[in-house]
């Protein structure tokens, strides 16, 4: 995992960036890569969090939040992107903003072969559905990309995903 103090603190900085962008809703499925950020959002009295049974529910929650005057973020893993394909038409056709932070699997030092196919297809799949995709390989890339993605989503009503590389998250072992 990250050994540098700054690298270890990127979830805290990311939480600050999301708050600065006006995000008050967060939806997620349980994910080790997002664990620290999930905990920060759950303990933030200004944020409402939703644990999802499947990732596409988060897209509907984001649309509903926007219609109700709130901004939200969807945290998911690359394997869950495949579950969202049909639902991605909702924000595109309704012109709702969508901000997704996607922890990648199936890449660097992956141990689970079931994660590889969707890991390989995540960016292409999102782009095929009209989602703007940014990729973060370092903590600095991540913070800058999420700041940019939030502005694009919430100011220009765009659908944006930031892919958080598996290398940034660290090697998983079970």
Residue 152 lies in a domain: yes
Give the pLDDT score at 3.
Answer: 40
Give the pLDDT score at 173.
Answer: 64
Residue 40 lies in a domain: yes
Question: How confident is the model over 84-121, as pLDDT tens digits?
Answer: 999 999 999 999 999 999 998 878 888 888 887 788 99
Q: What is the number of domains present in the chain? A: 1
Residue 174 lies in a domain: no
- Residue 161 structural domain: 5-169
Residue 91 lies in a domain: yes
pTM, rounded to two decimals: 0.92
Residue 39 lies in a domain: yes
**What percentage of the chain carries pLDDT values higher than 70?**
93
Give the pLDDT score at 37.
Answer: 97
Mean pLDDT across the stretch 58-68?
97
b/e per residue 132-171 (b: at least 16 CB within 10 A) = bbbbbbebebbbebbbebbebbbeeebbbbbbbbbebbee
Mean pLDDT across the stretch 67-81?
97
Residue 115 lies in a domain: yes
Q: Over 60: is that where the pLDDT of 73 sits?
A: yes
Q: Which CATH number belongs to the domain containing residue 137 in this structure? A: 3.40.50.970
């Amino acid at each position: 995992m990250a050994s540098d103090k700054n690298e270890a603190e990127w979830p805290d900085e990311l939480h600050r960036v999301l708050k600065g962008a006006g995000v008050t809703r967060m939806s997620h499925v349980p994910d080790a890569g997002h664990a620290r950020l999930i905990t920060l959002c759950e303990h933030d009295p200004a944020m409402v969090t939703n644990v999802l049974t499947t990732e596409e529910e988060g897209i509907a929650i984001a649309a509903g939040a926007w219609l109700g005057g709130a901004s939200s973020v969807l945290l998911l893993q690359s394997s869950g992107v495949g579950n969202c394909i049909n639902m991605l038409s909702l924000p595109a056709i309704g012109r709702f903003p969508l901000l997704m932070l996607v922890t990648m699997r199936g890449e660097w030092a992956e141990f689970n072969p079931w994660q590889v196919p969707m890991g390989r297809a995540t960016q292409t799949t999102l782009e095929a559905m009209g989602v703007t995709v940014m990729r973060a390989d370092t903590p600095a890339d991540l913070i800058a990309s999420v700041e940019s993605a939030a502005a694009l989503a919430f100011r220009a009503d765009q659908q944006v995903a930031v892919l958080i590389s598996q290398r940034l998250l660290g090697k998983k072992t079970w």
